[in-house]
Structure formats: structure tokens, C-alpha cells
Structure 1
Amino acid sequence: GLPMQGICQDDVILCPPKMFFAYGLGNQVYFPLKAKATTVCTSAPIKPESVWREWITHRPTVFMGVPTLFSGMIAYAEEHLSAAEIAEACSRTRFCVSGGEVLPPTLLNRWRTLTGLDILDGVGTTEMTHMFIVNRPGAVVPGSCGKPVPGFEAVLLGEDGKPVSQGEIGSLFAKGPTAALEYWNKPEKTAETMRDGGVFTGDKYYQDTEGNLFYVGRGDDMLRIGAIWVSPTEIENIITEHSVVQECAIVGAPNADGLVRPAAYVVLRKTGEGVCASAALAEEIKDYVKSKLPRFKCPARFEFVPDLPKTATGKIQRFRLRELSSKIEAA
């Protein structure tokens, strides 16, 4: 993805995700070394305040983060930074890159409004070394992960192992020169995941007529409602459009009849208007979702939480929310 993003020796790269993750390793080590660029390294924990401080100090030309970090940085900037400080910090920045999880279009738009910068969302896995699908500078398609990087292939396969029709949801099989050949001492896992110079990622996508890929969820995160596959990401993107919502996660939870229905875990934005979690607010958000999506996709339950459980790279741990959900049901 290096030539495509035009990274060169004049660039100053700021990538808070650490080098011991594939995303941080590529952005902080491989790309800067290859391009003879400068990279900003710090051992400090990744916090919006300290990242903004690094941004103001070094005025990077390219910034790489994850959706959670962009969300936190918006919240911090709105409360603590002036428009002039933000403009000065971003004065040399050409674009930002996001990975790790799907970037909600609302978050992309809020970031653009705050900084005037685009975020190029993309997809990478450790097994493929780094990002192999990404949006192009100047041609961002909101909600999409972009197109395969030149030299890479993304094939969407159905349950029969054959490519699906355009527009249909399929499991991503990624091929390219950087694909891993095996897992260390895990022959069964290798046989299941890797073959023909490619990797089964376990993620589900669909492709539009232009060839852009849209992530709909991990195979094990997809919800089956009334025999229809439902993407948690689709519902999350709508909920985060609501003005009081900072972020949210959808998981499947059984209702009183034991049928799986979407349950929403919502983190509210810290606004000056004193927005409070309440049954009335849940109903308001629910009505908003119903105005945008078919009724069966609307969460049956809303839980307001202070934050969402995440991995060190900022990915939402849905399995922990599913565990929490079953504990609530049991109570």
C-alpha cells in the first residue's frame, strides 16, 4: 500500500498503535524504512490527550489510528482544543488511515468536520502482514473498506466454497505475495485457514458495482433473525448517527421466547446538555433506528454503558458483551 498512499522520505508518520501489532509494525517500521520517512515513536499508553500532544508537537503528514482512537480524539478536542490549535496541528497532514475495525461513516464525517481531513479505512490481517484492502486518497467511499491493493486479490466465497454474485455477502479469501504459509506448530489451523497462496480471514463482506468492499461482520458475529442474516455493523452505523451516541456495539441476545434478537450496548457522548441514560432516550434511539432500517433489525434491548470492552488494538470484544448479555438474562 506504500506507493498507493504516496509515502516518501519527506513524510512524518504518527501511528499510536504499537509495533507489536501488525498494523503498528507496518506503519511505524516497514513503511518508514522503505520510504526513508520519519516516524514518531513513544512508549506512552495510547490516550487521546497524549496523541493530540504528539500531533501538535510533530505536525505529522500522515496519521494512522483505529476507530476507537478517532472517536476519543474527537471527544477530547471538542472539549479541550481550539479550532486554531487543531488547524495548526493538522496543517501538514495529507490524510489519516484507519484499520482494526470498520469506520462508521458518521465518525468519518465528524472527523472531517473537526480537522478537514479524510480517513482512509482499510482491512489488514496479521496473516497477510498488513493492509491489503484500502480506500484511495481523494476517493474515499464512506462505509467501505476500499479496494484491494495492486497485486492482491479479494475473493468472496459462499458456503459452497464458490465465489458469490456481486452484491451478495461472502467470506473473504485474500491472496497476495505477503500471505503467511502456516501457523507455527498448528497444522489443523493451517489446513483450515491457508491454501493456494491465500488466507481465509473469517470475515464477511459484500462488493458494490465499483469493486469497493463493505465489511458486514465476522462469521461468528453475524445474527440470524427470521432466517435472514443481519450484520451488527449495519445497525451500529445507524445508531451512531444519533446525535447523543459516542459509540455502540450490537450482539445477539435471546428474548423471552428464546429467539435471538439484536441487543445494543451504547456509550453516550459527553455533551454540555446533560444527556442522561433513560428508558425515554432508549425509545428515542429505537424510533430513529426504525425510521432507517426494517423493524426486525431494531434492537429489542438497549443498555447504556460507560465504555465498551476492547482489545489492546481497540477492537470491540463482542464475546464479552454476549457473556454480559447472558448474565443479565439469567438475573
Structure 2
Amino acid sequence: MTEKLSAQRNRYPLEHLPAGVHICWQVDGDEDFHASLAGIAQAVASAGAAFLYIVDRRPLTALRRQLHAIAPEVTAQGKAFLLEPPQILLDNARFDEQTALAQLRRFTLSHRAGGLPAPWIVVEMSWATWGLPGSDRWQAFESLLDSAGQELYGMFLCQYDRRHCPPDMLAEALRFHPYILFNGWVVPNQVYPGPIPSPILEREAVMVQMGLDGDSYQEYLRVFLEEAESHAARLSEAVQAGSAKQVDYHAHSLKGAAATIGAVRVRDAAWELEQMGKRGSLAGAPQALEKLLQEIESVRRITAR
């Protein structure tokens, strides 16, 4: 992606970024925050884009006033959406990375469908320090966001306030972002290892969570593979028949079963098909189904070892 950016001494201006960029914005005090927000708001205004800010610790009213002072055209045209995490990231005070990503996907795709510029989205990440159920999955959310890339049609900045986020969280966050916002410029993240692939099975985590020994887990896994094969067959029929409703139903069922057993890649592949079914558009469904079948086979192979 670097060659697509207009570089100046290895620094990239915010207004020249292509859609799909995933940036780590580590705020170091109010002065740094205000300067960076000004650059972001001006880039949003220049692009004529919408701006979604998921705000955690900052008062919404004060932030809206500040944004209006910086870029009045954004707020005047009703393109600025300031929400708190429970409104878009949390479901009944619980965090689920797939639900959060689906919410962001709906927001960005609505702009793409309307022929609008890619929206800018800032997610203030200090909600992950609340200790709410599922909030320890924030890394999984960042990994999904990083892997989704340009598919999401948005400019994503994940904001970490150094005054509220612990040092180990700040260090961990850098693993998921190819770029960093620093003094109003975007710079390459030298410690970024590239998108981190999901594990095929989260075996140990599920065994601890469900209180299972190795033999019991293997039995659950055997039953899951039987169910997965059945759902995959029904999904194949539904895709061939063009039945979005049946794709949604069977993909949703398979996604839940995969999540329970810790088959992460199967869960994610099923989720992709589920979203196609919910949208009523099966363009790309044959390819998504093939990916799902490959992930089911991956689980089968490591189970047979």
C-alpha cells in the first residue's frame, strides 16, 4: 500500500490516504489530541466524507463543539456521527468482535452503495479496559479490522489514550496497525508484522472455558464436524438455488457451532456467507462457500493427527 501514498520523507498526509488504511492513533495528552483531531477533521472535510467517532471518555457535546469549530461543513451537513461504544460496539454490555465488525461494515457499505466517499471512523479503544464481558477480545477485533482492509471501504483510526490504557495494551496495539498517526502525519509502523492469521482451533481456550478434558473436547469436535458437513451441504444447495434466506439460516447456525468449539476460521468464513444472505445478495457466494469448505477441511485434518 505504501506505493499508493504520496510520501514526503516517509510521512504521509492524512488527506492522501486510500480507503482501507488501518491506523494506530496513540494520544499523548490533550495538545496532541487536539492537533491530530484538527488534521483528521480537515481531511474529512476535504474529501466530503462522513465521520463516525465512537467516543468513550470524552464528553460528546464538547467534542461536537470542537469538531464544529475545526470543520463546520462536516457538522453542518450532518455528516458527523458521534456515538458511545454501547450504541455500536457492545451488545447488552458485552463485546463481540464479529458483531462490532458487522456494525462498522454496515456503516461503510451504506456509503459505498450511495456512491459517497469512504467514511472516516475513529474508535476510542479505552472501553476495552472496563472489564466488561468479552472486552478481552479487543485484539481479535483489531485483527479482524486489519485483515478486512480495503474490503470495508473506510479510513480506520483506533485511538489509544496513553493516560488510560496500560503500557502492555499500547505495545500490543501496534501489532495490528501498519501505520501510526504521529504529530498530524501518518508514518509506517516499523514493528508491524503483517496481518496475523487466525488459529484453526482455539482448543485450549475452549477446554478451559467449558471445563473439558482432551477426550471430551475431541467428542465435541467430532459432533461439530458432522454438523458442519450437513450445514455445508445445505449451504451448497442454497447458493446454487440463489436462496439468500437459506444461506443466512445455515451460515448463522454453522457460525454459532464453530464459535462454541473454537473453530475460528470456520466461524469467520460462515459469518461472511451469513452477511451475504442477510443483505440478500449472493454475489461472491460460490467463492465464499469454497473458502468455508477449505476451513472445515483444515479442522478435519488437524483433528485426524
- Range into which the TM-score falls when normalised by the shorter chain: 0.3 to 0.5
| TM-score scaled by length of structure 1 | 0.33
Q: Which has the higher helix share?
A: 2
| Structure with greater contact order relative to length (CA < 8 Å, sep ≥ 6) | 2
